A and B are shown apart, each in its own frame.
Chain A
Amino acid sequence: MILGFAKRWSVTSYVVAAILTLPLVAIVIQTAAPDESIFPHLLNTVLPTYVLNTLLLMLSVCFWATAIAIPAAWLVARCDFPGRRVFQWALLLPLAMPAYVVAYVYTDLLDYAGPIQRGLRHLFNWQSPQDYFFPDIRTLAGASVILALVLFPYIYLLARTAFLEQSSSLQHAARVMGCGPWRSFWRLSLPMARPALAVGAALVAMETVADFATVSYFSVPTLTTAVYDTWLEYGSLSAAAKLSAIMLFVVFGIIGIERFARRRQKLFQKHTELNDGDRYTLSKTQGYLALGYCFGLLLLAFLLPFMILMGYGWQYFEVSWNGNFLNYAVNSLYIAVLVSIITVCIAVLLMFVRRCSPRKADKLPSRFASTGYALPGTVLAIGVLVPLTYLDFVINDIYAYFDALGPGLILSGSIFVLLFGFSVRFVAIAIGSVETSYKRMSPTLDMAAMTMGLKPKILLWRVHLPLLRKGIFAGLLLVFIESMKELPAALLLRPVGFENLATYVYQFVSDEQLEHGALAAIVIVLVGLIPLIYLNRSLEHRS
């Protein structure tokens, strides 16, 4: 777009992307090592089922999450009904809940020995599972519904922002032409929100593929399960790396198909805000239906699991209370704040270069940088440790060369490794958010700026950043919340003596004693809530 875009911008973006891709490269290199024919063995036995499970799970989670998120986002953004103001932020609350906690609560609640089935048996005097039918929660279907409940806010958030940012003049035009709410939704809002929905669905798909703790509660083995098995039980990192490579292909395939499908679709809007008067007023019945829908969703995805958590916390208060929470919470906060700032800065840089550079090849860095998200946290951790420990050895060898005592593992044994690992994993979220905002920004803006002789740096500061404000905020806060909850990478990468809320809770969850870690889990949720509410306010703020 910009003629004469200085080379150093491209170089910087390539360097940043290369650093972020290091873990992936480390893993790919591992695939070259011999794997003692574990791979053919898996192929002949369990792998086909795992692959099928992965694909089915990913598709059904995306389907359910989109299906429940779109109506909620549309209602909240474009209609007026009782409670709308509360729901517009409350529906983000499920984001604050770690998926494995929700999975724990629901499997506990709904399986054969759980209180619901026990109650039913007691009530109807059923004696054995043969006496009645109850859907089995620990199935692929069960897992996809629960995961969709946990993950739908990604799509909800991006879709709502898209609906809110859709120009009201377009909507006015549609109304003048006689479009009712339904038609304007199907023909205008939905197609225009498609980039946002696609980004949201891609995030959901990647979360699903990378998930391990949740599917293992549901006893639904997926490719991630296979990665763990081959790595930990067969002791073959190279076979595990090969499986990770397959997973990446799956994810890239899906993202690629989606991008191909809308390659000619470009949606630019002037940045106009929605006024309250632009919302559709629903009839009384419609209003209550809308209220019922949003409340039901909130109840299932957040209120119920949270109340159960509070119950555990109350019941087991004596055993689980210790004064370390504050300490763990500060650690969690510290990492989450830094990681969200780092990832958003990277996202803005990469997307800016992608948008403005005249060179085609400059579109690549942002794509490569996003790959870390699809890696299961444990695999990613290995990928992160390989290059960092290598560097540590180089540093220590240099010290040794000068007969000095080396600093030890200053990269892989300090907080740096956590920051790096988390950034690799979550930069995709930041890129996604910034990208959605960019997509709605017309290139004519850049052209106008250029005709006025603005340098790229000024263009970024004075024109783009103010317009990207919402995307940046959304990115910051999503990454923040994810970092608060992230577990597998934290477990493996955290330096000695560093404990945060997620790793602390996991000690108990891993032994299926969430009850004892419930208080810490509540703190994770509460700490996540504040930024969520703030996120919403910033999105709401009309200025």
Chain B
Amino acid sequence: MKFVKSLAFLGLACFATVVSAAETLTVYSYRQAFLIEPILADFTKETGVKVDVVFSKNGIAERLAREGRLSPADLILTSDFSRLMELVDKELVQPVNSKTLSDNIPHALRSPQDDWYALTKRVRNIYSSKDRIGPIAIDYEELADPKFKGKICTRSGKHPYNISLVASMIAHHGEQETKIWLEGVKANLARKPQGNDRAQVKAVKEGLCDIAIGNSYYLGKMLQDPNQVSWAEAVNINFPNQENRGSHINVSGMALAKHSPHKENAIKLMEYLSSDAAQKAYAEVNMEYPVKLNVAPSKLVASWGEFKADELPIYKLAEYHKVAVKLLDEVKFDL
């Protein structure tokens, strides 16, 4: 009898989690919760609406698809545009017509159908060793130049940031040329692709390589960490392709879940995330570039200088995502 009672109790406990979830907004996030929690806390303070975040690096789209109309998700946050595209492709999001959003977020940084919005920009930079190379004007194309043989470090080619970069190369140069470029880059690598963007900067500091590919905000993050500041100080940040099309940028973004149970509040949160306060917080906490034009990047980020960004609309890159992965497999980039 006791056993039955405890089973019943367990059942009730399970129900309880479902019921309590109904009174708050639910965010499914590809971004680490600790990055956005301070901003969400401000939102709660301002509106009284609580926000629960489920963080996962993988499989959110799959989960949403399974949950269908019963899904508790209101808002989805991603750290990369290809994930946004995946959500759109699988019809897991709904368009939001909000004047605030379209005023705050420039045209090229949101979906033409209003079904996703960018929140921050991140630049795929080329870091160079301060001691051995110094600041250089460099194009992504030059990474395949034999003059850099054995001098380049990067993380796995299959990481979304690198896939996006490859996709943008395909968009500009076509599949064949990109494949030759990838083979060239691979031949120039100082070591098998490994670690994250931070680890590449560290490798430059240690002299393992002279050049590394990495997102801009990592530099800011390292400069804030007393144990890593020496890595960051060993490199120069270079914005590639300034003489021609401009640097490749990726975006973090948001989309309203198709079956959002609290649509009104979810849109409120989206608008809040595009507001001056949140954009500023994003810029200061994450060292990314805000999408809202009148919000300045953090002082540190601004000190790296102005740069020209590739104007190819971001959603165009999505078409080449799978081709990019295929090319990476074909040249066995990570092996």
A residues lining the B interface (CB < 8 Å): 41-42, 45-46, 49, 111-113, 118, 127-129, 138, 216, 219, 221, 228-229, 231-235, 237, 315, 338, 378, 381-382, 385-386, 389, 392-393, 396, 406-410, 412-416, 491-492, 494-498, 503, 507-508, 510-512, 515-516
Contacts and interface: CB of A to CB of B under 8 A. Distances in A.
Nearest to B86: A235
A24 to B, nearest CB: 17
Shortest 10 CB-CB distances between A and B: which pairs?
A414-B14, A219-B194, A113-B206, A497-B52, A45-B329, A389-B66, A113-B202, A233-B325, A512-B196, A507-B32
B59 A494 contact: no
Given A495-B21, A496-B52, A510-B57, A415 B322 contact: no
11 contacts: A49-B332, A219-B156, A233-B321, A234-B322, A381-B59, A382-B66, A408-B72, A414-B15, A414-B18, A511-B32, A512-B198
Contact of A382 (B33, B62, B195, B326): B62
A111 B67 CA distance: 43
A415 B203 CA distance: 43
A219 B158 CA distance: 11
Give the interface size class of chain B. 35 or more
A112 B57 CA distance: 28
Given A113-B203, A382-B59, A507-B32, 7 more contacts: A112-B208, A381-B59, A408-B70, A409-B72, A412-B67, A498-B17, A516-B34
A386 B329 contact: no
A229 B158 contact: yes
Residue among A232, A338, A407, A496 with the highest chain B CB neighbour number at 10 A: A496
Nearest to B330: A45
A410 B57 contact: no
Residue among A128, A221, A392, A511 with the highest chain B CB neighbour number at 10 A: A511
B190 to A, nearest CB: 8
Contacts of A512: 195-196, 198-199
Contact of A219 (B22, B70, B334): B334
A359 B78 CA distance: 54
B10 interface: yes
A498 B53 CA distance: 9
B32 to A, nearest CB: 5
Nearest to A139: B192
A393 B194 contact: no
Nearest to B205: A113
A129 B209 CA distance: 10
Contacts of B335: 46, 49, 221
B294 interface: no
Given A45-B332, A412-B67, A495 B325 contact: no
Contacts of B208: 112-113, 128-129
Contacts of B193: 219
Contact of B13 (A45, A232, A415, A508): A415
B227 interface: yes
Nearest to A411: B14
A385 B15 CA distance: 17
B207 interface: yes
B72 A413 contact: yes
A378 B67 contact: no
Contacts of A495: 17-18, 21
A378 B59 contact: yes
Nearest to A226: B329
Nearest to B89: A235
B251 interface: no
A476 to B, nearest CB: 17
Contacts of A498: 17
Contact of A507 (B13, B33, B52, B58): B33
A503 B67 CA distance: 21
Contacts of B329: 41-42, 45-46
B206 to A, nearest CB: 4
Interface in B28-76: 32-34, 52, 54-59, 62-63, 66-68, 70-72
Contacts of A235: 86, 89, 322
Nearest to A396: B70
B207 A511 contact: no
Nearest to B14: A414
B58 to A, nearest CB: 6
A492 B58 contact: yes
A128 B207 contact: yes
A496 B192 contact: no
Nearest to A130: B150
A410 B207 contact: no
Contacts of B198: 512
A389 B15 contact: no
Nearest to B11: A416
Contacts of B13: 415
Given A138-B194, A235-B322, A496 B207 contact: no
Given A112-B208, A233-B325, A491 B227 contact: no
Contacts of B194: 138, 219
A173 B11 CA distance: 55
B230 to A, nearest CB: 11
B298 to A, nearest CB: 18
A229 B332 CA distance: 13
Interface string B64-103: 0011101110000000000000100100000000000000
B69 to A, nearest CB: 9
A331 B17 CA distance: 13
A511 B79 CA distance: 12
B267 to A, nearest CB: 19
A507 B34 contact: yes
